[in-house]
Structure 1
């Protein structure tokens, strides 16, 4: 039987499974981004993030130094002797890249077309009676019957153990000017969050509780502005700012973010305020309270969940904004916010450096996460504003 008080509906399982699926779908790319932020560029290119805890196999090429050629009287390859180069792959890697440590060779070769033609320990025959042998621990021997005048190329596959470090975060945090970019971001974000809240609170109260001609038209205009792309207003607004003398300045970007955020703020706050108990407001007016006193003493304290909800959205949007900051702030590095600093300075032409991108993403969301978790208890109440009475 269904519909009995105290008994769960069969649809509750569907809701729970749907919520769980959405959470998993949201967490998977976030975890992948977090794992990638601790890996270097080569590791990210070589393997997927979910294989990061496992050893991966990568192909490499190094050159054996011909200057170390040693003449031999005879050997396994030929009885008339020849020339050989011996050494260890780890020493060649350290000389070329500066990376030290033991190596584990899984296959090797002598040409780019066949980089893994032989197994460790085998003797690989080459052209002109030359041979190459590489052991699993990296010891190599290149033999030629004639004198070796050029550095021969050694191709091999090597197991790379999992490696995680903080190099990406160090590069971001130690970058010159990052502290100034952080302060600039706060300078832009805090006023651009507070100003639209103040203006929208007054407008929402007027649209919710004050009777005047054209109120319905204004509400319709506010709803219509929600669907207008901000990209359409960038050039006209910048031209207007340049005309009045505030173009590409902090004041200009504050007003730009205020204009872009006001429609949502007014809509959200008005829906919440219109659902507040009418008896409280009418009783205050009977006692002689003015509209301003009703607004400051009653409406604002009761509307804090809606105010906090919009503050979260506005703060996150302004903090993570790149487009508006590129348009309305000066191009000099002294005025860069964090998004512009990361995009123009740290990345530059290295747009494919996913390790830097991932670390930059987690570095830039630290403050928004703090704001979100501080105010998230008010988020649902604010979003449900006006849905029931």
Structure 2
């Protein structure tokens, strides 16, 4: 009885947690797998079937016309028209003579279509259309086919994206925007977070409340006022409006509230004894911040760096507003968006674009994850 109770107390909850984590991981991986498979499929297959059918082939209905009467030949007492309705390695699984029943007959079956006429469509796409009298004066008959296309994978979508004009320059532009726009808010937020956590001054509680309130302000609501303010300052000092400095400041402004909030909560949770001991030893606030708080806060700094980098790297709206859409200033997301065409007709390259743009964020994530673990271990070891 004691063993059963112990299993119920420890084994079952742990098993449930593991199962829940597995389900969440699969739910996150499933769309990613779908995007990966779609990025390797042909454009025609993407439009007619889902990615889960990629390994079974794509099935679609096609309307074709048989050959004109000029292709007829006499066969005994009747006439016959023959030919091929599909090309390549496609196969026909069924066919029909009415639009409401496109798959009425299996491939290979000879069908009586009336007036002594017969039609046979084979699986390889060849057909025979027989009639006791001549086909002269008639138009090629319309036939509906259920065509099966075998699985086909290609790197054409990736070649289209990588070989597009301006992609290399857009990649450099994205790095030029993202790296400073990630470093600047972290530096400023770290100083502000330490001041709000460990320094006593009038109005500190009000500043904390303001920071929390700014987190919920939508970007779209503050974008236009911020742009007008920036343009006004630029006109006053004669600074061009579309510069990298402008978009760095914009991303810094949008990322600062969350950065200060997260870092302040983490820094406020550091052991109070360490801070007080450093002050007793005569260390200034700047020395405490640089030598003690920053090393211990590296996990929080790395975590926010990941989120800020992902946000700025994937941004399109702020880049178009503050940097522009000209060829030499276009970021990677803007360049990939331009590849879709004015009406989004080339949407099949979206999947390939997604995996191309995700390479750099993945590298950043795994790199910072390693330092994140190292920072956690370093912060947990007490010096003698």
- Interval of TM-score (by shorter of Structure 1 and Structure 2): 0.7 to 0.9
- For residue 341 of structure 1, what is the aligned residue in structure 2? 335
8 A Cα contact 2:121 2:127, kept in partner:
yes
Query: Does the alignment pair 1:230 with 2:205?
Result: no
Question: Structure 2 CA distance, aligned partners of 1:362 and 1:158?
Answer: 31
- For residue 83 of structure 2, what is the aligned residue in structure 1? 87
* TM score, norm. by length of structure 2: 0.86
- For residue 260 of structure 2, what is the aligned residue in structure 1? 266
- For residue 157 of structure 1, what is the aligned residue in structure 2? 146
- For residue 359 of structure 2, what is the aligned residue in structure 1? 366
Query: Does the alignment pair 1:117 with 2:87?
Result: no
Farther off after superposition, 361-370 or 247-256: 247-256
Output the aligned Cα RMSD: 2.7
Deviation at 1:351, TM superposition (A): 5.6
Report how many residues are paired: 365
Deviation at 1:251, TM superposition (A): 1.5
Deviation at 1:237, TM superposition (A): 0.8
Question: Structure 2 CA distance, aligned partners of 1:226 and 1:12?
Answer: 35
Q: 1:181 aligns with which of 137, 149, 170?
A: 170
The 3 A distance-change label for structure 1 pair 379 and 9 is: farther
Deviation at 1:222, TM superposition (A): 0.9
8 A Cα contact 2:339 2:346, kept in partner:
no
- For residue 31 of structure 2, what is the aligned residue in structure 1? 29
8 A Cα contact 2:325 2:334, kept in partner:
no
Deviation at 1:48, TM superposition (A): 2.5
- For residue 357 of structure 1, what is the aligned residue in structure 2? 350
Q: Residue 105 of structure 2: SS of its match in structure 1?
A: coil
Deviation at 1:310, TM superposition (A): 0.7
8 A Cα contact 1:60 1:157, kept in partner:
yes
- For residue 167 of structure 1, what is the aligned residue in structure 2? 156
Deviation at 1:9, TM superposition (A): 6.4
8 A Cα contact 2:198 2:268, kept in partner:
yes
* TM score, norm. by length of structure 1: 0.85
Query: Does the alignment pair 1:48 with 2:47?
Result: no
Q: 2:135 aligns with which of 146, 165, 168?
A: 146
- For residue 309 of structure 1, what is the aligned residue in structure 2? 303
Deviations 1:326-356 (A, max 9, x none): 2222121221111111223335423683x32
Question: Structure 2 CA distance, aligned partners of 1:382 and 1:44?
Answer: 45
Question: Structure 2 CA distance, aligned partners of 1:170 and 1:68?
Answer: 43
Question: Structure 2 CA distance, aligned partners of 1:327 and 1:251?
Answer: 13
Question: Structure 1 CA distance, aligned partners of 2:141 and 2:156?
Answer: 33
- What is the correspondence of 1:281-320 to structure 2 with a 5 Å cutoff? 281-320=275-314
Deviation at 1:216, TM superposition (A): 1.1
Question: Structure 1 CA distance, aligned partners of 2:91 and 2:102?
Answer: 16
Deviation at 1:243, TM superposition (A): 1.2
Deviation at 1:130, TM superposition (A): 4.4
Question: Structure 1 CA distance, aligned partners of 2:11 and 2:56?
Answer: 44
Query: Does the alignment pair 1:132 with 2:119?
Result: yes
* Structure 1: gaps (5+ residues): 94-99, 384-389
Deviations 1:34-54 (A, max 9, x none): 211111333233332222211
Question: Structure 2 CA distance, aligned partners of 1:148 and 1:339?
Answer: 57
Deviation at 1:153, TM superposition (A): 3.3
Question: Structure 2 CA distance, aligned partners of 1:377 and 1:224?
Answer: 33
